[in-house]
Amino acid sequence: MNARIPTRREFLKSTSSGFGYVAFAALAHQQALRAAGGAAAGPLAARQPHFPARAKHVIFLCMQGAPSHVDTFDHKPELVKRNGMPMPGAEGLVTFQGQQGNLVRPLWEFKPRGQSGKMISELLPNIAEMADDLCFIHSMTAKSNTHGPAENQMSTGFILDGFPGIGSWVTYALGSECDDMPAFVAIPDPRGVPQSGARHWNSAFLPAVFQGTAFNASKAIPNLARPAGVSEAADLGTRDLVNLLNRRQMEQHPADSDLAARIASYELAARMQIAASEVGNLAGESKATLDLYGVNDANANKAGFAKNCLLARRLIERGVRFVQLFNGAYAMGEGVGNWDGHKTIEKQYSVHGPILDQPVAGLLRDLKARGLMQDTLVAFVTEFGRMPTFQKGANGRDHNPKGFTVWLAGAGVKKAFTHGATDDFGYQAAENVSTIYDLHATILHLLGIDHERLSYYNNGIERRLTDVHGRVIRQVLG
């Protein structure tokens, strides 16, 4: 019996329909590998921590310009008592911008908060109401008194450029639990980017796939939508073919991390076409939630930052591993759009305080109400502190890396707890002195990562986020 030879059209139709099965099989295989934790699942596959983790997600709140700890969280009665007097032992002291004048009391009154009675100033009354959920470290120190290098150290562990951000280290160690969003998202302030810009979320010498993706509620990720002239079928078909070709190329060059990063980023971009558009759409949030954050506030800068805080919660809710959320930007000049209060600190902070206060308090309350605090760590960090004196001839405080405050909240840390202290004036850390290396080691520990084991060989050196330093601040662990 003679077999009928199919026509060209029939042949193409039958073979093209098989591409769908090939793509489906590849996706199913990838999901199975992800579930098993296999290396072949891709560079962003979820990986096991070194030991059981207390936290699965981090929100890293970065204050740009360095707010004054003595005007916010570090209560110093002696500073009030000696207001207008020279600081003992500091005659002729010269700091970042020059000579210092006399001691100046906090410009906002401190009051006891919550059941713990923690003293917090009236500059941030909404955050103050959350005192019983916060874990304060009052003895933090930094290595630089200059914005750029100090920003670098807080985000990357080093004052020099060229080192990966903490979010990149975390995703390098743990991968992602989210298939359709980046593992590491940076959310710049609606007023602009920080002084160090993308260095905060750059992967540097780590594989490129671990670089953070930057977007915010007012400026979504560009180029997500399919071009108007391309049909859905053509888009999906092209995607399947490219995926097949990419896999063949990867099989030929398995050690090419840049190729792996490109493949992973293209595949993630395809999945993000729906997910990223949805996560930034706040229309489904209730009026009560929008009001909690201050999303509809008449102050446009506050409303914009509030949307970013709400976006952070929505990202965490969808499995994003690390969210770096910025308050303040440098494009507007010294102290105008940031906390760099050198000349007229009272006037400037009266602007910045309300922008920060309700949205961050709303974020904490919302995370707590939804049960997200159980596996989310919130870290409130800055570049350095500020002086307890006013600058000579000015009405503001100069940079001070010798002692300042950060706080933690959520998974794995003690509530209503204070660790360390500065001296009587808030000038320098005097009790349980801590470093940024220690802070990073503690954050990694809460994620189940031994900071001494998390390393990457680069240019002849086994590099770590904590360099050759760092100890876990075990006193703050819950």
Range scoring the smallest mean pLDDT among 7-16, 175-184, 387-396: 7-16
CA distance 214 to 434: 30
Helix (H) or strand (E) holding 126: helix 125-128
pLDDT in tens, 222-242: 666 677 777 778 777 877 777
pLDDT in tens, 19-61: 444 444 444 434 443 443 333 457 889 999 999 999 999 999 9
pLDDT in tens, 314-323: 999 999 999 9
Q: How confident is the model at residue 463 (pLDDT cuts 50, 70, 90)?
A: very high
Q: How high is the pLDDT of residue 269? A: 63
pLDDT in tens, 60-74: 999 999 999 999 999
CA distance 48 to 60: 22
Report which DSSP code applies to 1: -
CA distance 98 to 226: 55
pLDDT in tens, 360-393: 999 999 999 999 999 999 999 999 999 999 999 9
Mean pLDDT on 191-213: 94
Q: How high is the pLDDT of residue 28? A: 43
Helix (H) or strand (E) holding 187: strand 184-187
- The residue ranking higher by pLDDT, 13 or 392, is 392
Asked if pLDDT for residue 134 goes beyond 70, the answer is yes
Q: How high is the pLDDT of residue 10? A: 57
Mean pLDDT on 201-228: 85
Average model confidence (pLDDT) across the chain: 89
pLDDT in tens, 78-96: 999 999 999 998 888 999 9
Q: How many CB atoms lie within 10 A of CB 126?
A: 18
Buried b (16+ CB within 10 A) or exposed e, 91-119: eebebbbeebbebbbbbbebeebbeeebb
Q: Tokens 């993630």, residue? A: 268
Q: How high is the pLDDT of residue 411? A: 97
CA distances from 355 to 189, 191, 361, 425 (A): 11, 11, 11, 27
Q: Is 405 exposed, middle or buried (0-12, 13-18, 19+ CB in 10 A)?
A: buried
* DSSP string of 298-329, one letter each residue: SSHHHHHHHHHHHHHHHHHHTT-SEEEEEE--
pLDDT in tens, 256-281: 766 776 676 666 666 665 566 678 88
Q: How high is the pLDDT of residue 39? A: 39
pLDDT in tens, 451-462: 999 999 999 999
Retrieve residue 163's tokens. Answer: 């080192």
User: Do 429 and 176 contact (CB within 8 A), yes or no?
Assistant: no
Mean pLDDT on 348-370: 98
- The residue ranking higher by pLDDT, 178 or 224, is 178
